[in-house]
Amino acid sequence: MNSCVARRCRVARASTDMPRYKILIEYDGAPFLGWQVQPDGLSIQGEFEKAVERFSGERVLVQGAGRTDAGVHALGQVAHFDISAEHDGSTVRDALNFHLRPHPIAVLSAEQVAEDFSARFSATKRHYVYRISNRRPDLALERGRVWRVSRPLDVDAMRVAARRILGKHDFTTFRSTDCQAKSPVKTLDQLDVIGDGEDISIVTSARSFLHNQVRSMVGSLVYVGDGKWSADDLFAALQARDRTRCGVVAPPDGLYLVRVDY
């Protein structure tokens, strides 16, 4: 264990029996290397830990419900941390927002919770949406917030194919080679493809996801929408349990962590 990890573990253990706070967060992921603290560069977790220290004078570990990748956004990320003093939720919310400026991060709410609450391990379901702009013109206002696919996509074919991979499966095909999950088996509860003019939303939920699973599934569904794959091809790729059988991995721009259930 390196010194940085060891220090963070000691901080986490030192926070036992302190008031625990749960925060609801939204952020634009574009300027960050992702949620998790990185040796070099901005991370959302790192900026939160700095903000908590400036507010409380304590160095703490801020634990999130999901380790979103670089460029991925959040409308409803959840995190928790422990500090020694008790404060009402509005004080914690406003203080963190003050110290997080000018980063594109906002604490929507804060509340004190039971000491056994864990933003990560108490979660029962995570909900994501992936946004596609299916239009020919370049993006002006939505650049960095959706994936522009200029070729017409068959939304109905994508919707039919998405249903084929619902349920409990080995999702190795849609798993990053860097994924650290102990098992590739996950239960996919929802994968809906919703078209509204030029806007396509792919809505998905599960208790947990593998690293890059959502973006890998979205990219493969775009293959279906493009006519490169059929629904049978998508299911065959899943059954192959082979990362090389995955379609293109969708860019992070269009992915949002929408909600976490407890």
Query: Is there a contact between 182 and 158 (Cβ–Cβ < 8 Å)?
Result: no
Query: Distance of alpha carbon 112 from its chain centroid, rounded?
Result: 23
For tokens 């990748």, the residue is 69
Among residues 17, 69, 82, 138, the one annotated as catalytic is: 69
Helices (H) and strands (E) in the chain, counts: 6, 10
- Using CA atoms, how far apart are residues 60 and 48, in angstroms rounded to an integer? 9
Please, what sign has the CA dihedral across residues 29, 35, 40, 42?
Answer: positive
Partners of 129 in beta bridges: 203, 256
> Strands 125-133, 63-64: parallel, antiparallel or unpaired by DSSP?
unpaired
Asked if 242 is an active-site residue, the reply is no
CA angle, residues 178, 184, 188, in degrees to nearest 5: 115
Positions marked catalytic: 69
